[in-house]
Amino acid sequence: MDQEQYLKKKMGFWSLTALSLGGIIGSSWLFGPWAAAKLAGPAAIISWMIGAVAITLIALIYAELGRVKPETGGLGRYPLYSHGKMLATVTSYSIWLGYCATAPVESAGVIQYANQFWPGLYDVTKEQLTTTGILASTLLMIFFVVFNYFGVKLFAVTNTVITTIKFVVPVLTILAFFMTGFHAENFTSQGFAPNGYSAGLSAILTSGIFFAYTGFGNVIMMSGEVVNPRRNIPLALITSLVVAAILYVLLQVVFIGAVPPEMLANGWSGIKFDSPFANLALMANMVWLSWIITADAMISPTGSALTYTAGTSRHVFGMAKSGFLPSFFGSINKRFGVPTRALALNFFIGMLFLFPLKSWTAIVAIVGAIGIFKYASACVTVMVFRKVGLTKDNGLPGMHIIAPLAFVFATLLIYWTNWSRVQLAITGLILGIGCYLVTHFINKHKSVEIIGGLYLVIYILLLVLLSYIGNFGGNGIVPEPFMSIVAAILGFIFYYFAVYNGVWYMRKKGNIEELQESVTKIS
C-alpha cells in the first residue's frame, strides 16, 4: 500500500509562506551579515543581492515542478524521473546530507547566543562549541524531532506563530540601528570592497548567504501535503523570497553601519563577536535591544530547525520510495501522519556533522557547497519535463530563459567559491557516483541508468577544470572578468547537453506515459 496516502493535506498559502520564511529566517540573520562582512566588507551587500537573484530563479523552477507534479520528497524524486537512478542517487544523498546538517547548524547558533547567559557553552577564542555546548545542542536537536513527531497540523500552526514572532525582531533591529549608532563612514573607510570583488562572490556560498535563502526548499519537500499546490506553491515561494531578500540586504547595511569605526583598525576581517547583533546593540547603549535579540536567538534558529527537521524527514520518505534507502524508512505513522522513522535517522546523521565540526561557520560552509548541486539538476529537469510533454498548461512564463540562466548562475557560484571550500562537496559527489556504480552492478541495473546520468560526471569534470585554471584558489591562467565569462558560456552550452541527456533517457526508459497519467490524476 502506498504510504503517501497517510500524509495529511493541511498546508495552505499562509502556512507555506511561514514554512519558507521559517527556514530562511533562522540563525543566518544572526550570523550571516557578520560572516559576510568579515570576508567582503561593505561589498557583502552586493553578495546578498546576487544570492537573492540566483535563488529566486531556482525557486521559480521548483514552483513549476511543484505545479506539474507535487510530491512529498520532490527535490530528490524529480531527477529520478528525468535522468534515472545514478543522478537521482547522487542528488538525493547530497540533498539529504545538506539538510541533515541544518539542524546542527541552527542548534549551534542557539547555543552560541546562549553562552551569554551560561558561559562555558562556546569558546570565543577557538570559535567553536565546548563539550558542554555540544551536549546542549544535542538535547535541542532531540526536541526538534519530538516536536515534529506530533504531526504536520501542529507543526503548521505553531510554525506560523513562531515565524511571525521572529520576523518582527530583525525588522526592529534594522530600525533601531538606522536611528542609533549608524556610522556611514564605515562604507568607505576601508574601501567598499577591501578584499576585492572576488571575495564578495566567494562569500555567497561560504558565509551563509546561499544557505540562508535555501529555506524555501522545505515547501517543495512538503508539496504532497499542500492544499491547491498549483496556486499556493508558486505564491508562497515568491512571496517569502522577496520579503527575505529585502530583509537580509537591510540587515547587512545596518550591520556595516553599526560596527564602531575603531574596531576596523585591522580591517573587516579582524572584527570578532560571539553574538554579533547583540554585541553591537550593547556597544550602542541599546541594552533593551540586546536582550530582545538574544531572546530571539533562541527562537529564530529553533523555528528554522523545526522546518528543516520536517522537510528532511519527507526527503528520506521520498528516498525510500525511490529505493535509495531501505523501505523501512518510507513508513508513515498512521496516527500522526509523519514519517517518524525518517525523523530518527536524520537525527543521528546530524550528529555526524555536529560532533566533529563544532561551529556554525564550519558547518554552514559545507552545507552551501553541497546544496548548489541539487539546484543545478532541477534547472535541467524542468526543461526535460517540458520537452517530453509533461508540463502541458502548468508551466510558468519565461521558463525557457529562467532555467538556463539559473543553471549558469549555479555554475558561476561554484566557480566563484574558493576551491578549498568546494572540493569536499565535489569529492562527496564522486564518492556518491562510485557507490551507485557498485550497487548498479550488484543489482544488475540497465546501462540506461548510467547513460541517463552521464551529464553529471562530465559536469563535475568541467567544474574541476574551471576551478583549476580560474582565479578563486586556482592557477589564474585567464584573468577576470574574462574567466567568469568563459565559465558562464560553458555552463550555458553544457545546460543544453544535460537537457538532451534527460530527454534521451526518458524516451529510452519509456516512462513518459506513466508520468503523464499521474499528472492527469493530480489535475
Residue range 441-484, pLDDT digits in tens: 777 777 888 888 888 888 888 888 888 888 887 788 888 888 99
The DSSP output letter for 122 is E
Structure confidence at residue 135 (pLDDT): 93
pLDDT in tens, 109-125: 888 888 877 888 888 77
How confident is residue 399, by pLDDT bands cut at 50, 70 and 90? very high
pLDDT digits (tens, 9 = 90+) for 158-170: 656 666 777 889 9
Q: What is the pLDDT of residues 511-522, one digit of tens each?
A: 676 676 666 555
Please report where in the chains the cell 559545507 appears, as a residue.
Answer: 366
In tens, the pLDDT along 217-242 reads: 667 666 666 677 677 778 888 888 98
What are the grid coordinates assigned to 304, written together?
A: 528554522
pLDDT of residue 355: 86
- Its pTM stands at 0.80
Q: How far apart are CA 506 and CA 384, in angstroms?
A: 9
Which one has a higher pLDDT value, 135 or 513? 135
Cell of 448: 540506461
Q: What is the mean pLDDT of residues 57-85?
A: 79
pLDDT band at 102 (very low <50, low <70, confident <90, very high): confident
Reply yes or no on whether the pLDDT at 336 is more than 70: no
Q: What is the model's pLDDT at position 489? A: 94
Q: What pLDDT score does 359 carry?
A: 80
Calpha distance 516→1 (Å, rounded) = 21
342 or 61: which leads in pLDDT: 61
Residue 90 in 3-state DSSP? helix
With a CB cutoff of 8 Å and minimum separation 6, the contacts of 81 are: 69, 381, 385, 506, 511, 515
Ranges 20-24, 87-91, 333-337, most confident: 87-91
Give the pLDDT confidence score for residue 24 in this predicted structure. 81
Of 329, 12, 274, the closest CA to residue 125 belongs to 274
**Using one digit for the tens of pLDDT, what is the confidence trace for 268-304?**
988 888 788 998 998 999 999 999 998 888 777 776 6
Task: Please give the pLDDT value at position 19.
Answer: 75
* pLDDT(155) > 70: no
pLDDT digits (tens, 9 = 90+) for 5-50: 444 455 677 777 877 787 788 778 888 999 999 999 999 999 999 9
Which pLDDT score is estimated for 4? 45
